[in-house]
């Protein structure tokens, strides 16, 4: 077990934790630094996931993705008792009525109903985009803050949810374009952009501009190019950033152009149309950014 302390005998900083004896021992000389250490784990053992689930006395951790943060009680949908036996007909009907009233009581007012709908929509969109849990939690946190500041009133729930997801992607370093958000949303790209600007002002979000380098890996995977080509594209973009060529230009267009140049240099030629479709930009944008990179960086592209 790693520790910042130093062994008073040999001066080592490497230690071993012995859970059976409750001791912290020096890994080099064996000196016992601490004994009777309290074990904060459970007092029971489990040898498979089913056994662990049965013996655990706690539920799932708190999550912002559920309107009540997952702190309410759920009545299981399986009509079985604690021993796994089927519940008889009379009690089964009673249990179904209890389950129905439980669902109704979890949402007390319009605000909770709004939040429940928004978070389910957020979960659907994030699942379709295959975004990690941390992005979903960040988006849910932003939406909750917007609700507390009464920014949602008079605006579409779908638009504000999409804006929160777009902002969360940028905050977590997994940027997605407005076109990609709009593809899974029920509102237009224009509405998402408008909602995002409104949310950013209302919550004082100071997000740094997205770097085109952050798009290279994803676009490169979609184009099925090698790691060598993606690395070359990043090198081109770093040089372009240092020389101030990227200032005022869209990051997706720059990433697409850099990948196009890198594919030509590495002998994995891709057409401008293929690159433009992956980056959700026009061929004209790819062509213009390509010309700028080649001319200003002095790149000799093979014909």
Q: If you ran DSSP here, which 8-state letter would residue 80 be given? A: B
Burial class for 3, CB neighbours closer than 10 Å (0-12, 13-18, 19+): middle
Residue (of 262, 285, 264, 289) closest to 273 by Cα position: 285
Per the CB < 8 A criterion, the answer to whether 35 and 21 are in contact is yes
CB 138 within 8 A of CB 170: no
User: Is 29 one of the annotated binding-site residues?
Assistant: yes
| Closest listed residue to residue 240, CA positions, set 265, 218, 212, 268 | 212
Closest CA to 167 of 199, 190, 130, 145: 199
The total of other beta-carbon atoms located within 10 Å of residue 83's CB is 5
Distance CA 67, CA 64 (A): 7
Instruction: Give the pair of three-digit tokens for residue 232.
Output: 């070359």
d(C-alpha 69, C-alpha 61), whole Å: 9
Establish whether 10 is an annotated binding residue.
yes
Closest CA to 11 of 32, 24, 26: 26
On whether 169 is known to bind a ligand per the annotation, the reply is no
Q: How far apart are the first and last CA of the chain?
A: 59
Binding-site sequence positions for Zn(2+): 7, 10, 26, 29
Binding-site sequence positions: 7, 10, 26, 29
């Amino acid at each position: 077990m790693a520790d910042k302390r130093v062994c008073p005998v040999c001066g080592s900083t490497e230690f071993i934790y012995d859970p059976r004896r409750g001791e912290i021992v020096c890994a080099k000389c064996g000196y016992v630094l601490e004994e009777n250490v309290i074990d904060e784990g459970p007092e029971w053992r489990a040898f498979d996931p089913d056994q662990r689930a049965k013996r655990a006395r706690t539920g799932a951790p708190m999550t912002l993705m559920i309107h009540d943060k997952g702190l309410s009680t759920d009545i299981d949908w399986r009509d079985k008792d604690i021993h796994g036996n089927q519940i008889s007909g009379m009690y089964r009907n009673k249990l179904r009525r209890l389950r129905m009233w439980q669902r109704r009581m979890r949402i007390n007012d319009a605000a909770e109903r709004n939040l429940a709908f928004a978070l389910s929509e957020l979960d659907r969109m994030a699942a379709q985009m295959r975004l990690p849990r941390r992005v979903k939690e960040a988006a849910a946190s932003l939406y909750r803050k917007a609700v507390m500041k009464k920014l949602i009133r008079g605006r579409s729930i779908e638009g504000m949810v999409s804006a929160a997801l777009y902002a969360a992607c940028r905050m977590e370093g997994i940027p997605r374009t407005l076109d990609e958000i709009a593809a899974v949303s029920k509102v237009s790209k224009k509405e998402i952009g408008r909602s995002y600007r409104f949310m950013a002002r209302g919550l004082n979000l100071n997000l740094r501009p997205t770097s085109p380098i952050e798009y290279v890996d994803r676009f490169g995977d979609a184009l099925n190019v090698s790691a060598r080509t993606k690395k070359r594209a990043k090198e081109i973009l770093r040089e372009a950033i240092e020389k101030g060529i990227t200032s005022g230009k869209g990051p997706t267009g720059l990433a697409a152009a850099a990948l196009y140049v890198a594919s030509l240099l590495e002998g994995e030629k891709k057409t401008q149309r293929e690159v433009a479709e992956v980056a959700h930009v026009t061929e004209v944008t790819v062509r213009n950014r390509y010309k700028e990179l080649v001319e200003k960086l002095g790149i000799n592209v093979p014909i």
